[in-house]
Amino acid sequence: MKKITIYIILALMLNSCSASKPTNPSQNSALNSISKSSQKSEKGSMQTKLDTWLKKEWEPSVKKDKKVQEKYSDKSRDFKLQEYVDKASLYLKEHNSTDENSHSQKIQNLPVIGK
């Protein structure tokens, strides 16, 4: 009989613990006063540099090719890796670095390391 009452009490305790809903951190005012998770954060310097690079260099070089623009104009389609490859090849054609500015060329011209 003792075992049955212990099992019943244990079952009630476990049931009561699982029935209480945990509070969402965004609804907890004490937690929000510490973490400030609802505050809007500013962009970091890396994100800002990436955004300006995309607007000033990547997009203009891609917009010059009408074939790629027509191919990827539908915004409701799924992203394919081929889209990135096509756009990257356009960017590299326009922003091609010469052999003099190449890092591998500079390494090869070093006295001991290079050729």
* Model pLDDT for residues 48-86, shown as the tens digit of each residue: 999 999 999 999 988 888 998 888 888 888 888 999 999
Q: Which amino acid, residue 24?
A: N
Provide the CB-side half-sphere exposure for 94 (13 A, CA). Answer: 14
Least confident of 33-37, 73-77, 99-103, 104-108: 33-37
Is the backbone of residue 108 left (phi > 0), alpha (psi -120 to 50) or beta?
alpha
Calculate mean pLDDT across residues 18-37. 62
Residue 38 covered by a domain: no
95, 56 in Cβ contact below 8 A?
A: no
DSSP letter for 112, please. Answer: T
| Res 74: pLDDT | 86
Residue 112 covered by a domain: yes
Helix (H) or strand (E) holding 103: helix 103-108
Residue 89 covered by a domain: yes
Domain of residue 90 covers 66-115
| Res 104: pLDDT | 78
Number of domains in the chain: 1
Residue 91 covered by a domain: yes
